[in-house]
Structure 1
């Protein structure tokens, strides 16, 4: 079954509930309020439920309102929720190519393109040298003096992955450009080192 899960972390560190998940089945049916708890044995998932008037024959105080009926699908959903909570996204595309052109125009020092899974290209990614060093700005446009994103990563981990790939490639290209420049300098123009 096709499904999508989103996870929202709970900011209160003292809460036993670590995150709330939303599960959408086949782009047609959504289940909200799936809770991720921190227990004595680690993280566990609790489907939406209600408290019974009295425990059932197995001693369960709570009854799930909606739930997977196979152990395999339950395990898959639970592991996906825990992975997403931990910042792991198995559906995250791979960065299969990164290209960078360098130049200097005010604080803009380069433009990059990133290819995802050898199937989709994101171009016009800006490399900016700001007060705190290099950073990446995804494609955007200006409307009424306000910048609007055209496309962007939906998770912090994937944003970091793209930023790191672009900045590493920029540094590699800049280093190669500098080496080529020094190799192509005429012998007379090279700085001379005094011998001791």
Structure 2
């Protein structure tokens, strides 16, 4: 029998746990899984278990045949590979435009637009925070909460966007200073 299997995985920083995530079978059953590491360094997919009254662990969800097990393992390891490589092969920020704002009383210092993976994202904001400048992604407000419209899916991608915008912001400020200096010298 053939099943549609989807897996989403996140890299873990816990001891003996390489990753954690979820598996969906035929768009109707969803359960958690872990990728664990044996003492010998071999990785395997661990299915949900619970501790019984006698202290032993027993499976709560598990594949009923070998083929399904192999298909789930394949989907989980493929999702994990995708998750791990997206931290390594980050796309280039193709274009960055920054407009510095002249309001000295505001924590908002600039507005920015970036182009990455062919998508133009408008409404990034350079703000002054307690620890210095930071870049906020475009947001909308729902009730009392703000939600990002678009954002980097990994820490490294978020940092890459932030670095590119802040670098362009510094460049923009330096160009303004040079322009003022040139106009003052005339």
| TM-score greater than 0.5 by the shorter chain | yes
Whether 2:164 is the aligned partner of 1:162: answer no
Correspondence for 2:175: 176
Distance 1:82 1:130 in 2: 36
1:49 CA drift (Å): 7.8
Distance 2:85 2:40 in 1: 16
Correspondence for 1:136: 135
* Paired residue secondary structure (1:158): helix
Q: How many residues align?
A: 165
* Paired residue secondary structure (1:104): coil
Flag the 1:86–1:43 CA change in 2: closer, same or farther, 3 A. farther
Flag the 1:85–1:96 CA change in 2: closer, same or farther, 3 A. same
Whether 2:31 is the aligned partner of 1:32: answer yes
Distance 2:29 2:181 in 1: 60
Q: Which has the higher contact order (CA 8 A, sep 6+)?
A: 2
Unaligned 5+ runs, structure 2: 50-58
Alignment root-mean-square deviation, CA: 3.7
1:141 CA drift (Å): 3.6
1:155 CA drift (Å): 3.3
Flag the 1:117–1:25 CA change in 2: closer, same or farther, 3 A. farther
Aligned 8 A contact 1:115 1:122 in 2: yes
Aligned 8 A contact 1:47 1:67 in 2: no
TM-score w.r.t. structure 1 length? 0.63
* Paired residue secondary structure (2:177): helix
1:31 CA drift (Å): 5.3
Flag the 1:49–1:150 CA change in 2: closer, same or farther, 3 A. closer
Matches within 5 A, 1:4-19: 5-8=7-10, 13=14, 15-19=15-19
Aligned 8 A contact 1:107 1:128 in 2: yes
Unaligned 5+ runs, structure 1: 51-61, 188-196
Flag the 1:157–1:23 CA change in 2: closer, same or farther, 3 A. farther
Distance 2:85 2:41 in 1: 13
